[in-house]
C-alpha cells in the first residue's frame, strides 16, 4: 500500500470514527495532517494524527484494509 493510499484511507476512517465520538475528541483530532510510521510491524501501515493535547491517534491498517485504532500518549 502506498503512503498516499494509507493516509487517504486513514483520514476517511478517522472522520467516520470521530463522527461518533464526543466533541472534545473531534476537536482534538480535527487536523488531517498525518504521518506514516517507518515501522509498521504487524500491519500494512500505521498512520498517526497528532492531537492538540499531545496524544497521537494511530490508524493500524491490516492487509484487508481493516482499520483499527490506538492512542500513543507520550506522558505515559
Tens digits of per-residue pLDDT, 19-75? 999 999 999 999 999 999 998 889 999 999 999 999 999 999 999 999 999 988 888
- What whole-number distance in Å separates Cα of residue 22 and Cα of residue 3? 29
pLDDT of residue 24: 96
pTM greater than 0.85 (yes/no):
yes
Main-chain dihedrals φ then ψ at residue 44, nearest 5 degrees: -70, -40
Phi-psi category of 40—alpha, beta or left, where left has phi over 0 and alpha has psi -120 to 50?
Answer: alpha
Amino acid at each position: 500500500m502506498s503512503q498516499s493510499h494509507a493516509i487517504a484511507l486513514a483520514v476517511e476512517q478517522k472522520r467516520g470514527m470521530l463522527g461518533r465520538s464526543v466533541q472534545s475528541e473531534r476537536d482534538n483530532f480535527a487536523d488531517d495532517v498525518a504521518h506514516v510510521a517507518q515501522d509498521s510491524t504487524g500491519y500494512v501501515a500505521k498512520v498517526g494524527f497528532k492531537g492538540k493535547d499531545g496524544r497521537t491517534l494511530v490508524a493500524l491498517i491490516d492487509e484487508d484494509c481493516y482499520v483499527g485504532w490506538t492512542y500513543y500518549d507520550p506522558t505515559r
